[in-house]
Amino acid sequence: MTGTAASPQQEGDVAAAARGEPGTAVALERRELRVGGMSCAACVQRVERALTAVPGVVGADVNLATERAVVAAREGELRTADLIEALRRAGYDAEVITGDLARDRQIDAAAARRLRSEGIRVVAAIALSAPLLAPMAGGALPGAVQFALATPVQFLFGARFYAGAWKALRARVGNMDLLVALGTSTAYFYSLALWIETPRRTDLYFDSAAVVIALVSVGKWLEARAKRSTTAQIRALMSLRPERARVERPGGEVEVPAGDVAVGDVVVIRPGERVPVDGRVIAGMSEVDESLVTGESLPVAKAPGDSVTGGAINGDGLLRVETTAVGERSTLARIIALVDRAQEKKAPVQRLVDRVAAVFVPAVLGVAALTFLVWWLLAGNPAAGVIAAVSVLVIACPCALGLATPTALMVGTGVAARAGLLLRDVEALERAHRLDTIVLDKTGTVTTGQPAVAEILSFGGDERELLSMAAAAQTGSEHPLARAVLARAAGLALPPLEEFRSRPGLGVLARVGGRRIAIGNRRLMAEAGASVEAGEARAAALETRGATVVWVATLDPAPACVGAFAIEDPIRPTSAAAVRRLREIGVETVLLSGDHERTVAAVAAALGISRFFAGVVPAEKAEHVRRLQAEGHRVGMVGDGVNDAPALAAADVGIAIGTGTDVAMQTAGVTLLRGDPLLIADAIDVSRATYRKIVQGLFWAFFYNVIGMPAAALGWLNPMVAGAAMALSSVTVVTNALSLRRWRAAASIAAPPPVR
């Protein structure tokens, strides 16, 4: 955070609060504001200073591209009205962002109208300025005509620059508006003085003032259009939720606003309609297009029991859906919030740019003054000094500096969301491009996470009794392997579960029907004193083909292994291709699992992974990540379960499979909205593409200034060329960032064509 000083602990808490994370050491609350009137990178520092000066505020992040501010303050010490008043005194308009989708749509429509109105003003400014270029074609306009054409451009269409400059002066800071107003006013009033002194004179500089204002206005209009394009993904997501929903009531179907639907309501979705809520299908069959929500390229078949996501498009079937989530808890709202927050956060590289911009405008004023003095005192040509100084002021506006990073990040997070990649913060996007090692959790990541019992091994007892006893013990567990045993025991009468204790990474201990039993891996059997020798040969053969063997032992009157289950979890169809794709982009893959070494080795061999860790308990996963980091690797951890959360947090970038748990998704910096491992390489690829655009944007921003300012000071550029170059610099930076929209996820490109 920038602004008032905060301790390292507070800095971390501010960042966590801005992301909406619980459990920070300092109780903080978060506010989001839409800020109007910012014109360049220098405004960012000014807004942040105004916000952090408000009592109770410990940090603020301001994004020029999104025109938003995120404020973190000590809980209970902040009034939103104080923030708005502080910005008003600093010369900016502000309003609170409530997260109301309807309100956001209204604001978006108003912004579109303002953009159209600004376009009309730009056309008028160009129409008045164009005749002033006649001297370039060999003609010469009388001074009175030049004055008549330039004056409305200077004071009517240039009023925005004067207003912004006045606000900056009141706050004792500099910004783009000040540079433009000062530069064009110098040219205008110098020309006015020359014309009054010699009315017949035609070699005046009214054209420089008017054309600069027209060109800068064109640049700001194009910039606004381009910035609006960077938020296209957010607007597309906002437009997905239907305004109305058809709900079953005692008297029949009733159409109500979508916001009035409650959890438990049954919604009827006709063919071709958008799904208005998150829910579970209770009747009907159809195919649903979820591409704009999850990035899934093919329609997904839905039947009773399946879940549907609000915003998806129903196919040719009629569905009755029981609502499971509405409002902020819906998948669509959570996706919008994640993308929104990722776009409004400030990347570390942008903080350096903001510090540069804070001293840039005063430095430019100094260079312009020095340029005039050198031309006047050393060259004896004050007229040339005025024009050179004006050119310096105009070309050096730091607009592009403030736009280079946020516009690239906005487009990058937007295209990532379109592909099914949710980025929790821009730090994750910025770090992901450096990853050279990906650690893959096995179950639920490279496998489907839907294991099934393939074989039951009974060592002398009744197989049905073994299955019912084991299933009864597993009723207390949420582990995928436990669910596989329970699925196999469907229909059997189960003895009562009297005691249950989970041993993470080992298995479970339970009392079932008066008997103490242990169910788990070899380490649990050894700990319980039960020998697995009777089934070792068969288990080894099963593990060699990739099955997981779960052993069952009775502990009364003496420990004895009575059987085992061979459970197979199919490898995802795209897992091997994902590993190949990671290898192609220079990223090593490591497989991590709590399974036996033979099982993990078989899966690793099938995927083409040479390095793996087996028999890893949950507490050790984070340690393995740290060990790889100690070797000099930048590590991304991919997982889907609660026990993966510590490793996800320890990694340089945590990547959660979206089909997994909320805990994993909250811990990870990147969430894959669908369980396709190909998206892992896509996450790295979009991060690299975005970072390239940031570097390119900063290069062009500095290039225009490094080349343009000396050229302007030496008199090689007139103010009109300088104005065009300044406008072009912003447009170049934003347009370059917009080219990211052509990025496509390999997971989507590699998808097979739909079967018709």
Residue 280 banded pLDDT, cuts 50, 70, 90? very high
Whether the per-residue pLDDT at 9 is higher than 50: the answer is: no
| Same domain, residue pair 585 and 629 | yes
| Same domain, residue pair 641 and 672 | yes
Vertex 70, ends 64 and 74: CA angle to 5°?
150
**Is 183 part of a structural domain of the chain?**
no
Helix (H, G, I), strand (E, B) or coil at 53: coil
DSSP states along 447-494: B-S--EEEEEEESSS-HHHHHHHHHHHHTT---HHHHHHHHHTTTSPP
Whether the per-residue pLDDT at 579 is higher than 90: the answer is: yes
Structure tokens at 623: 């340690």
Long-range contacts for 108-114 (Cβ within 8 Å, ≥24 apart)?
108/235, 108/238, 111/228, 112/228
In sequence order, the 6+-apart residues with CB closer than 8 A to the CB of 741 are: 229, 232, 411, 414, 415
Query: What integer pLDDT is reported at residue 137 of this predicted model?
Result: 47
| Same domain, residue pair 661 and 559 | no
| Exposure b/e, 347-381, CB count within 10 A at least 16 = b | bebbeebbeebbebbeebbebbeebbeebbeeeee
Q: What sections of 171-267 are H helices per DSSP?
A: 176-197, 206-230, 232-238
CA distances for 23 relative to 32, 70, 354, 452, 467, angstroms: 20, 19, 30, 38, 42
Whole-angstrom distance, CA of residue 59 vs CA of residue 63: 14
**Is 375 part of a structural domain of the chain?**
no
CA distances for 463 relative to 38, 239, 543, 563, angstroms: 74, 56, 21, 9
Query: What integer pLDDT is reported at residue 41 of this predicted model?
Result: 66
| Same domain, residue pair 285 and 431 | no
In sequence order, the 6+-apart residues with CB closer than 8 A to the CB of 277 are: 245, 258, 261, 265, 267, 310, 321, 323, 324, 325, 326, 330
441 is catalytic: yes
Q: Within 10 A of 463 (CB to CB), how many other CB atoms are there?
A: 11
φ/ψ bin of 267: left (φ > 0), alpha (ψ from -120 to 50), beta (otherwise): beta
Whole-angstrom distance, CA of residue 678 vs CA of residue 690: 19
From the list 149, 112, 120, 119, the residue with the least C-alpha distance to 133 is 149
**Is 229 part of a structural domain of the chain?**
no
Q: What is the mean pLDDT of residues 563-577?
A: 90
| Same domain, residue pair 28 and 78 | yes
Query: What integer pLDDT is reported at residue 134 of this predicted model?
Result: 64
Q: CA 672: distance to chain centroid?
A: 12
| Same domain, residue pair 498 and 549 | yes
From the number of C-beta atoms within 10 Å of its C-beta (0-12, 13-18, 19+), residue 109 rates as exposed
| Same domain, residue pair 444 and 578 | yes
| Same domain, residue pair 603 and 577 | yes
Whether the per-residue pLDDT at 138 is higher than 50: the answer is: no
Most confident of 153-157, 197-201, 357-361, 415-419: 153-157
The answer to whether residues 405 and 188 touch, using CB atoms and an 8 Å cutoff, is no
Helix (H, G, I), strand (E, B) or coil at 751: coil
Query: What integer pLDDT is reported at residue 233 of this predicted model?
Result: 56
Q: Within 10 A of 719 (CB to CB), how many other CB atoms are there?
A: 29
Q: What is the mean pLDDT of residues 515-520?
A: 92
CA distances for 418 relative to 268, 571, 745, angstroms: 27, 26, 9
Higher pLDDT, 670 or 591: 591
Question: CATH number for the domain including 304?
Answer: 2.70.150.10
Percent of the chain, pLDDT > 70? 82
**Is 268 part of a structural domain of the chain?**
yes
Higher pLDDT, 623 or 754: 623
Q: What is the mean pLDDT of residues 624-653?
A: 85
Query: What integer pLDDT is reported at residue 667 of this predicted model?
Result: 61
Q: Point out the least confidently predicted range of 118-122, 516-520, 720-724.
A: 720-724
Residue 21 banded pLDDT, cuts 50, 70, 90? very low
**Is 753 part of a structural domain of the chain?**
no
> pLDDT tens-digit profile of 378-426?
888 888 888 888 888 877 766 666 677 777 877 888 788 778 887 776 7
Query: What integer pLDDT is reported at residue 378 of this predicted model?
Result: 86
Residue 748 banded pLDDT, cuts 50, 70, 90? low
CA distances for 286 relative to 272, 303, 316, angstroms: 10, 7, 6
Query: What integer pLDDT is reported at residue 8 of this predicted model?
Result: 35
Whether the per-residue pLDDT at 531 is higher than 80: the answer is: yes
Starting at the earlier edge strand, list the strands of the sheet with 635-639. 421-423, 670-672, 653-657, 635-639, 437-441, 588-592, 611-613
Query: What integer pLDDT is reported at residue 252 of this predicted model?
Result: 84
Q: What is the mean pLDDT of residues 108-135?
A: 82
Within the chain, how many helices (H) and strands (E) appear?
27, 26
CA distances for 546 relative to 480, 543, 570, 605, 606, angstroms: 16, 5, 9, 10, 9
| Same domain, residue pair 467 and 552 | yes
Quote the domain boundaries for residue 93.
8-97
> pLDDT tens-digit profile of 434-449?
899 999 988 888 888 7
Q: Point out the least confidently predicted range of 181-190, 661-670, 672-681.
A: 661-670
Residue 640 banded pLDDT, cuts 50, 70, 90? confident
DSSP states along 591-645: EE-SS-HHHHHHHHHHHT--EEE-S--HHHHHHHHHHHHHTT--EEEEE-SGGGH
| Same domain, residue pair 442 and 576 | yes
Whether the per-residue pLDDT at 749 is higher than 80: the answer is: no
The answer to whether residues 152 and 214 touch, using CB atoms and an 8 Å cutoff, is no
Angle between helices 399-418 and 41-52 (to 10 degrees): 80
Tell me the torsion sign for CA atoms 73, 78, 83, 86. negative
Whether the per-residue pLDDT at 602 is higher than 60: the answer is: yes
Question: CATH number for the domain including 499?
Answer: 3.40.1110.10
Amino acid at 77: E
Average pLDDT for the chain: 80
Q: What sections of 22-79 are H helices per DSSP?
A: 41-52
Among the options 441, 644, 682, 685, which is catalytic? 441
Query: What integer pLDDT is reported at residue 1 of this predicted model?
Result: 34
Euclidean distance between the first and the last CA atom of the chain, given in angstroms as a whole number: 53
Whether the per-residue pLDDT at 633 is higher than 90: the answer is: yes
Tell me the torsion sign for CA atoms 270, 271, 276, 278. positive
From the list 497, 455, 506, the residue with the least C-alpha distance to 476 is 497
Query: What integer pLDDT is reported at residue 223 of this predicted model?
Result: 66
**Is 170 part of a structural domain of the chain?**
no
Q: Within 10 A of 743 (CB to CB), how many other CB atoms are there?
A: 18
| Same domain, residue pair 458 and 563 | yes
> pLDDT tens-digit profile of 285-319?
988 887 666 656 568 888 898 888 888 888 888 99
Cis peptide before 618 (omega within 30 of 0): no
Q: What is the pTM of this model?
A: 0.66
**Is 82 part of a structural domain of the chain?**
yes
Query: What integer pLDDT is reported at residue 320 of this predicted model?
Result: 92
> pLDDT tens-digit profile of 449-508?
788 998 999 987 788 889 999 999 988 777 778 888 998 998 888 999 899 988 877 889
Query: What integer pLDDT is reported at residue 281 of this predicted model?
Result: 93
Whole-angstrom distance, CA of residue 45 vs CA of residue 61: 9
Query: What integer pLDDT is reported at residue 11 of this predicted model?
Result: 39
Q: What is the mean pLDDT of residues 32-45?
A: 78
Percent of the chain, pLDDT > 90? 18
Higher pLDDT, 102 or 711: 711
Angle between helices 719-738 and 382-395 (to 10 degrees): 10
Q: What is the mean pLDDT of residues 528-545?
A: 90
Q: Please say which residue of 70, 97, 124 terminates a domain.
A: 97
Structure tokens at 194: 């020359």
Query: What integer pLDDT is reported at residue 135 of this predicted model?
Result: 59
Query: What integer pLDDT is reported at residue 20 of this predicted model?
Result: 43
The answer to whether residues 555 and 519 touch, using CB atoms and an 8 Å cutoff, is no
Query: What integer pLDDT is reported at residue 113 of this predicted model?
Result: 82
Q: Point out the least confidently predicted range of 133-142, 163-172, 725-734.
A: 133-142
Q: Point out the least confidently predicted range of 251-255, 322-326, 662-666, 710-714.
A: 662-666
Whole-angstrom distance, CA of residue 16 vs CA of residue 10: 10
Query: What integer pLDDT is reported at residue 552 of this predicted model?
Result: 94
How are beta strands 266-269 and 286-289 bridged, if at all?
unpaired
Question: CATH number for the domain including 48?
Answer: 3.30.70.100
- H-helix or E-strand containing 404? helix 399-418
In sequence order, the 6+-apart residues with CB closer than 8 A to the CB of 241 are: 101, 258, 274, 276, 310, 311, 332
Torsion of CA 728, 733, 734, 739, to 10 degrees: 120
Q: What is the mean pLDDT of residues 213-219?
A: 79
Helix (H, G, I), strand (E, B) or coil at 29: strand
Residue 327 banded pLDDT, cuts 50, 70, 90? confident
Q: Please say which residue of 680, 706, 728 terminates a domain.
A: 680
Q: Please say which residue of 272, 307, 325 terminates a domain.
A: 325
Query: What integer pLDDT is reported at residue 186 of this predicted model?
Result: 83
Question: CATH number for the domain including 432?
Answer: 3.40.50.1000
Q: What is the mean pLDDT of residues 23-39?
A: 73
Q: What is the mean pLDDT of residues 249-269?
A: 87
Q: Point out the least confidently predicted range of 232-236, 549-553, 598-602, 696-700.
A: 232-236
**Is 470 part of a structural domain of the chain?**
yes
Whole-angstrom distance, CA of residue 346 vs CA of residue 356: 15
User: Per the structure, how many domains does the chain have?
Assistant: 4
Identify any residues that bridge with 722 across adjacent strands, giving them in sequence order. Answer: none
DSSP states along 136-191: GGT----HHHHHHHHHHIIIIITHHHHHHHHHHHHTT---HHHHHHHHHHHHHHHH
| Same domain, residue pair 500 and 437 | no
